[in-house]
Amino acid sequence: MKSALLSNVNVESIARQIGRHEVHIAQGFGVWTQELADPASATFSFQPASIFLILDGAELLRGQRGLQPLLAELDEHLAWIDRAAAHFPGIKFFVSTIDVPTRTLRPVKDERIERLIEEHWHEGIRRASAASANVYIFDLKQLIEESGRFHFYSNKRWYLGGLRFSTTGERLIAGEMERILDAQMVARKKCLLLDLDNTLWGGVVGEDGINGLQLSETGPGARYRDFQLRVRELGKMGIILGLVSKNNEADALEVFEAHEHMVLKKDDFAAIKINWSPKAENIAALAEDLDIGIDSIVFIDDNPLEREAVKSALPEITVPDFPSDTSELPSFLERVYKECFFTIESTEEDRKRTKTYLANAKRAAERTMASSIDEFLEGLRTKIFLTRAGEEDFGRAAQLTQKTNQFNLTTRRYSEQDLRTLESTRGGSVYIASVADKYGDNGKVIVGILRRATPDTAELDTFLMSCRVLGRFVEDQVLDHFVGELRRDGFSRLQVRFTPTRKNAPARAFVERLHGGRLLPSDAESGELIWEFDIAKASPVTKPAYAELVAKQLLLDEVVS
């Protein structure tokens, strides 16, 4: 894209850095007003689509003229800009704000004319931009403030060759120019999909409950609130927002209704997929519903496994790395904006876009698709370390029984002492497992408690797993291992108990995919369901083993002792 760069200092070195676009520079610096005033100037003859006017504040002040003549001169400059913009309505003019460093030595009490000059200029270009559709503000001062004058300017370069800015400063200016030029050519991304837990708020709603979430006006929870504010701003610029989360839909949506510090509302999202299916499937379905390409979607999730799974199933999607320091969340989204959604202006249509898609999406049917989930799970190189709980494990195991709501078959809450007693009782055994993968260790996340019901029947009293390893079928593999060990120890039947709660849909999905169970008559009042499996010949587990399971010896000996 053709553009021209006008300045009151030497900007040739900046133009040289802009590789993707052709940039014309006026010969002889300081000629910028002439170039602007003359419709036949070399600048206009080049027929640029955009003209950048980068003005150095200190240079505008050169010559001791006093404040009033100086302001009058700025008004003259502004008048030339207005005239040029009116004469060439097809050219976009990006006019810089100015930074005027205080260089004069003067007493504290004296007037700060630098600020007056900056304000006067800003008021002028603000008015020009409001009056003319093709005048935009290039916020040079913002760039300088972000990095600091010390880094942005260079005395040596100035005295050597009239180069006002340091290489850092030049790079920032060139980067911003390229972003603006690119935005006029390259289609920006259309849709931002967000995870919920530990992304829109701190904590896990299914575990911590609404009141346990980190989300507040001030204090630590404000980092999530500020993040949401930025997300809402993207929505206002016409970016379609969507939610893709592994959660119980009712729990998650309740946060939108009931949490007083939620900035985003349910209606801010054109598409919502809150369920336990793989996210790649949900995203593919959602793209179809919204009728947008996968390549126009940006997906933000705090969980590296989810990011990796989505990236490998849908290579065209953009998945930015999540900041490891969550205080960086708001600035992270600024970066995502600049890289994926940057726009020079938004229209009324943009602002209504989410509503349009919301209506379209409601019409579109739900669909599912098979993705390469098997390949993904195998690629994780997951390892399960299963062991009989020792004294050092009771604390963590008790905590897991207290906190885990989603993948928890019976939701029986145990204290450390309860578990110790259970373990010392004949036929009761507590197991704990940790899960690691190529990205690191997830820690101890699985607890299973087996009891002897009759001499040949074992009963699964408790089986729970933290939701951070959900969706990888490690629970199936652990159960399968239990079955093998029970069989070896002479058990022929296993009873699996399931008590439905408002939150344990993932546990229900698990018991429902077990094979060959016989439902026993059970206590209707508690709603508890008991399936009995004949394990002498076959295992109820149908899922393949994706992980490597390492079990400590003597695993189940105590059960039959």
Partner 1 sequence: MVEKLIETIARALRVPPSTLTPETGPGDLQVWDSLAQINVVSEIEAEFGVSIPFEQVAEIQHVRDFLPYLGKTS
Nearer to partner 1, 163 or 340 (CB): 163
Q: What sign for the dihedral angle of Cα 144, 149, 152, 153?
A: positive
- What are the residues whose beta carbons fall under 8 Å from the beta carbon of 159, sequence distance 6 or more? none
**Residue 438 in tokens:** 């190529």
Distance in Å, CB of 270 to partner 1, minimum:
44
Size of residue set near partner 1 by CB under 8 A: 13
Q: How far is CA 28 from the centre of its chain?
A: 47
Distance in Å, CB of 27 to partner 1, minimum:
13
Binding mask 184-203 for partner 1 (x = CB under 8 A): --------------------
Binding mask 157-176 for partner 1 (x = CB under 8 A): x-xxx-x--xx---------
Distance in Å, CB of 98 to partner 1, minimum:
23
Q: Give the 3-state secondary structure of 400-441.
A: HHHHCCCEECCCCCCCHHHHHHHHHCCCEEEEEEEEEECCEE
In whole angstroms, what is the distance from residue 188 CA to residue 321 CA?
19
In whole angstroms, what is the distance from residue 16 CA to residue 31 CA?
19
Residue whose entry in the numeric block shows the structure tokens 């460093």: 101
Is residue 354 within 8 Å of residue 408, measured between CB atoms? no
Q: What residues numbered 420-449 form the site for partner 1, per CB under 8 A? A: none
Q: What residues numbered 202-231 form the site for partner 1, per CB under 8 A? A: none
Closest CA to 134 of 85, 77, 176, 79: 85
Nearer to partner 1, 161 or 527 (CB): 161
With CB under 8 A as the contact rule, which of the stretches 11-19, 56-64, 250-258, 421-429 interacts with partner 1?
11-19
Closest CA to 333 of 225, 217, 247: 225
**Residue 156 in tokens:** 């040596």
DSSP 323: P
Nearer to partner 1, 13 or 492 (CB): 13
Nearer to partner 1, 164 or 451 (CB): 164
Distance in Å, CB of 80 to partner 1, minimum:
27
With CB under 8 A as the contact rule, which of the stretches 8-16, 323-331, 408-416, 488-496 interacts with partner 1?
8-16
- Is residue 12 close enough to count as binding partner 1 by CB under 8 A? yes
Residue whose entry in the numeric block shows the structure tokens 């007493």: 107
**Residue 60 in tokens:** 């505008």
Distance in Å, CB of 167 to partner 1, minimum:
5
Nearer to partner 1, 166 or 198 (CB): 166
Distance in Å, CB of 16 to partner 1, minimum:
8
Distance in Å, CB of 13 to partner 1, minimum:
6
Q: Given the DSSP bridges, would you call strands 92-96 and 50-54 parallel, antiparallel or unpaired?
A: parallel
Residue 465: Cβ-neighbour burial (10 angstroms; 0-12, 13-18, 19+): buried
Nearer to partner 1, 122 or 171 (CB): 171
With CB under 8 A as the contact rule, which of the stretches 12-20, 125-133, 345-353, 527-535 interacts with partner 1?
12-20
Nearer to partner 1, 175 or 304 (CB): 175
Q: What residues numbered 104-163 form the site for partner 1, per CB under 8 A? A: 154, 156-157, 159-161, 163
**Residue 348 in tokens:** 């009324």
In whole angstroms, what is the distance from residue 205 CA to residue 252 CA?
7
In whole angstroms, what is the distance from residue 196 CA to residue 12 CA?
47
Distance in Å, CB of 182 to partner 1, minimum:
20
User: What's the one-letter identity of residue 91?
Assistant: I
Nearer to partner 1, 143 or 163 (CB): 163
Nearer to partner 1, 161 or 395 (CB): 161
Distance in Å, CB of 5 to partner 1, minimum:
14
Which residue among 10, 404, 406, 495 contacts partner 1 (CB under 8 A)? 10
Is residue 272 within 8 Å of residue 366, measured between CB atoms? no
Longest dimension (CA), the chain: 103
Closest CA to 516 of 504, 533, 528: 533
Nearer to partner 1, 159 or 325 (CB): 159
Distance in Å, CB of 21 to partner 1, minimum:
16
Closest CA to 96 of 181, 168, 3, 8: 8
Q: What residues numbered 244-283 form the site for partner 1, per CB under 8 A? A: none
Nearer to partner 1, 166 or 326 (CB): 166
Distance in Å, CB of 156 to partner 1, minimum:
6
In whole angstroms, what is the distance from residue 226 CA to residue 551 CA?
45
Distance in Å, CB of 168 to partner 1, minimum:
8
Residues that bind partner 1 (CB under 8 A): 10, 12-13, 16, 154, 156-157, 159-161, 163, 166-167
